């Protein structure tokens, strides 16, 4: 199903992102996000235990790993939606420890969610406008004086319409977001995140549950982010897609970063093969057949 998806334009891969050997926690030439000793446990389970991780600027980085590897939990920690037990991390050189989620977003590090959060009973346009930063009309006092924010609102509407057109949602702008299909909601969530002109976009499984016809355009949109100068960190299960668009791949398993590298080399890494097929092969198979199959498929490809 997914194997026939090829980006319309052949993506230009960024190379030379790292310094030294491509190993877990390796230094990047120009990191936008740096995490140190970040850990989070749920009861006895260590969901995230990342010793060191650098996310390169101006590139598309894929975060992969079997279900339950801690990818979403790491996203939550880095964006202020969850508090780590230990660790520090910086975004554009500024420490983000203890910074609430809304401030993280204002700094230019925006995220989407694995389970889509379209605001159902708001129109598609209102969803978009909510994404814009620094709106005067969002203050309780100024909101009752429309002349203070009309101009800004008109500008935001124009910008939203442009994005919606790009994401082919412009005809739906006056519909409730609840009336969109699952894939369209993913698109809307991504477009909405772009309203704030972010510098780092973090997408948690942007393609999950999206019908193949839309996957194509989602891929192109992710590639576009990079060409517009944004950095992207995304979680994805579909290895083919990761290989097509990612410049760099970080592999997590059981809360740790077990491998890093460019998308072609990292798949050959023994630690990665172990993570998907290896040590817990029998247990994992039940809940994670999709990953295992994708991995097998991919290894077949390579050989």
Shortest distance in whole angstroms from residue 43 CB to Mg ion: 18
Residues 6+ positions from 190 with CB-CB distance below 8 Å:
112, 167, 201, 203, 206, 218, 221
By CB under 6 A, which span of 25-33, 64-72, 128-136, 147-155 interacts with ligand ADP? 64-72
In the beta sheet, which residues pair with residue 61?
Answer: 233, 248
- Taking a C-beta distance cutoff of 8 angstroms, is the pair 51, 63 a contact? no
Tokens of 194: 């772009």
Residue 98 or 278 having the CB closest to another protein: 98
107: closest CA among 91, 85, 122? 91
Q: Does 65 bind ligand ADP (CB under 6 A)?
A: yes
Sign, CA dihedral 185-232-94-48, equals positive
Quote the CA–CA distance of 35 and 80 in Å, as a whole number.
Answer: 13
Tokens of 43: 């009861």
Q: Of another protein, Mg ion, ligand ADP, none, which one does residue 46 interact with (CB within 5 to 8 Å by kind)?
A: none
- Taking a C-beta distance cutoff of 8 angstroms, is the pair 86, 123 a contact? no
Shortest distance in whole angstroms from residue 66 CB to ligand ADP: 7
Site string for ligand ADP, 35-54 (x = CB under 6 A): -------x--x-x-------
Binding interface with another protein (CB under 8 A): 79, 81, 100-103, 105-106, 110-113, 117-122, 126, 129-131, 133, 135-140, 143-144, 146, 149, 153, 176, 178-179, 189, 192-193, 195-196
Shortest distance in whole angstroms from residue 194 CB to ligand ADP: 23
User: Which helix (H) or strand (E) element contains residue 124?
Assistant: helix 124-130
Residue 160 or 272 having the CB closest to another protein: 160
22: closest CA among 299, 285, 272? 272
Shortest distance in whole angstroms from residue 177 CB to ligand ADP: 24
List the interface residues with ligand ADP, window 111-170 (CB under 6 A).
Answer: none
Which position among 13, 68, 107, 299 is part of the footprint of ligand ADP (CB under 6 A)? Answer: 68
In the beta sheet, which residues pair with residue 56?
Answer: 31
Shortest distance in whole angstroms from residue 234 CB to Mg ion: 12
Tokens of 274: 């172990």
List the interface residues with Mg ion, window 97-136 (CB under 5 A).
Answer: 114
Residue 129 or 272 having the CB closest to another protein: 129
Interface with Mg ion by CB under 5 A: which residues?
Answer: 72, 114
């Amino acid at each position: 199903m997914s194997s026939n998806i090829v980006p319309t334009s052949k993506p230009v891969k960024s190379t030379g992102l790292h310094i030294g050997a491509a190993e877990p926690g390796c230094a990047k030439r120009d990191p936008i996000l740096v995490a140190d000793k970040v850990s989070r446990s749920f009861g006895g389970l260590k969901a995230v235990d990342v010793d060191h991780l650098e996310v390169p600027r101006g590139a598309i980085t894929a975060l992969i790993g079997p279900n339950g590897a801690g990818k979403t939990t790491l996203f939550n920690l880095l964006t202020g939606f969850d508090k780590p037990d230990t660790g520090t991390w910086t975004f554009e050189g500024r420490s983000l420890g203890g910074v609430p989620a809304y401030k993280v977003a204002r700094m230019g590090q925006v995220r989407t969610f694995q389970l889509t959060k379209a605001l159902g009973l708001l129109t598609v346009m209102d969803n978009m406008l909510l994404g814009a930063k620094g709106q005067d009309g969002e203050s309780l006092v100024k909101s009752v004086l429309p002349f203070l924010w009309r101009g800004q609102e008109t500008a935001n509407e124009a910008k939203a319409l442009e994005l919606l057109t790009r994401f082919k949602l412009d005809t739906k702008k006056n519909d409730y977001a609840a009336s969109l299909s699952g894939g369209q909601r993913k698109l809307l969530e991504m477009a909405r995140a772009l309203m704030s002109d972010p510098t780092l976009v973090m997408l948690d499984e942007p393609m999950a549950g999206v019908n193949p016809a839309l996957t194509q355009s989602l891929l192109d949109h992710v590639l576009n982010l990079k060409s517009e100068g944004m950095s992207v960190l995304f979680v994805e299960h579909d290895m083919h897609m990761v290989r097509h668009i990612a410049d760099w791949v970080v592999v997590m398993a059981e809360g740790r970063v077990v491998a890093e590298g460019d998308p072609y080399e990292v798949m050959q890494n023994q630690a990665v093969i172990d993570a998907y097929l290896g040590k817990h092969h029998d247990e994992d198979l039940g809940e994670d057949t999709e990953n295992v199959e994708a991995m097998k498929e991919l290894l077949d490809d390579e050989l």
